[in-house]
């Protein structure tokens, strides 16, 4: 299951989505997240889902890869939905059914469905950003967007954010190796209930933390050995420039954003 986590991974390609300027993809991703919270009707999500399917198809990212990426968050989606079902109250006498002292109202079911859909679409949308943008492009894009707050600060923030994203798949691979090594020595991570499985993962934390600190130290030494001194005076082999593809992408997403606003403020 750890291998299925898609956030932070990059799939090289030459699709229309891959060739977009990273700033375009970052801004569209931010507005996409805003769209998910602007929409307050289920009908609004039909266009959002169609848009995501189109982006996945154009980017040539395997649908099975996207589907597998949702498996690790399945428990989180279910837990979020269950909490909303039982914690959201409605008008007295309108409950759908009761389980002891717990009452389920139509409002709770509606909000639970909204939260589950939003969470799934949020993970898929943000995963597409890292799947179609290399770490170097992502760093340059974040730095250029944060440039108004100060060149040095923007560079440092962009570097930290990108390294954090880049280390996600690395730590996942390291965790998988540690689990296999401990299984070979008789450790059991599969049997028992949820509490027992959670306790069995505790022995993973110490070697994982040690490995993480070691990798961070090696990265710092490698950057220092190559003369890294921050953003001052640095040049780039590839200079970011907007193209006609970016204009087309902004235009298409602009229509989607207008649709979301219409669903919220006009069709409500």
Residue 203 lies in a domain: no
CA pair distance 253, 34, nearest whole angstrom: 12
Residue 115 lies in a domain: yes
Tell me if 59 sits within 8 A of 132, measured CB to CB: yes
Residue 12 lies in a domain: yes
Residue 61 lies in a domain: yes
Q: Residue 8: name the closest of 130, 124, 163, 174 by CA.
A: 130
122-157 core/surface letters (b: 16 or more CB in 10 A; e: else): ebbbbbbbbbbbbeebbbbbbbbbbeeeeeeebbee
pLDDT in tens, 130-165: 889 887 888 888 888 887 777 777 777 777 777 777
Beta bridge partners of 98: 103
- pTM comes to 0.75
Domains in the chain: how many in total?
A: 1
pLDDT in tens, 157-208: 777 777 777 777 777 778 878 888 877 877 776 676 667 766 777 777 788 8
Residue 262 lies in a domain: yes
CA pair distance 141, 193, nearest whole angstrom: 44
Residue 229 lies in a domain: no
In terms of residue numbers, what domain contains 55? 2-133+239-266
């Amino acid at each position: 299951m750890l291998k299925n986590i898609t956030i932070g991974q990059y799939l090289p390609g030459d699709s229309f989505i891959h060739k977009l300027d990273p700033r375009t993809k970052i801004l569209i991703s931010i507005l996409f997240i805003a769209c998910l919270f602007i929409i307050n009707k289920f009908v609004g999500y039909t266009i959002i889902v169609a848009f995501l399917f189109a982006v996945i198809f154009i980017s040539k990212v395997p649908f099975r890869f996207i589907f597998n990426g949702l498996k690790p968050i399945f428990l989180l989606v279910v837990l979020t939905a269950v909490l909303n079902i039982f914690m959201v109250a409605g008008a007295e006498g309108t409950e759908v059914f009761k389980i002891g002292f717990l009452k389920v109202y139509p409002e709770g079911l509606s909000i639970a469905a909204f939260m589950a859909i939003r969470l799934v679409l949020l993970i898929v949308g943000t995963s597409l950003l890292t799947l179609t943008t290399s770490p170097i492009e992502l760093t340059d894009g974040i730095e250029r967007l944060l440039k108004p707050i100060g060149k040095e600060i923007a560079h440092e923030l962009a570097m930290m954010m990108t390294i954090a994203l880049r280390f996600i798949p690395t730590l996942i691979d390291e965790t998988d190796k540690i689990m296999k090594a401990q299984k070979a020595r008789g450790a059991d991570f599969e049997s028992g209930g949820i509490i027992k499985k959670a306790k069995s993962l505790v022995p993973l934390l110490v070697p994982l933390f040690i490995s993480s600190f070691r990798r961070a130290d090696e990265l710092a030494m490698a950057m220092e050995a190559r003369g890294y001194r921050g953003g001052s005076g640095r040049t780039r082999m590839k200079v970011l420039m907007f193209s006609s593809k970016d204009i087309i992408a902004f235009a298409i997403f602009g229509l989607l954003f207008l649709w979301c606003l219409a669903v919220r403020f006009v069709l409500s």
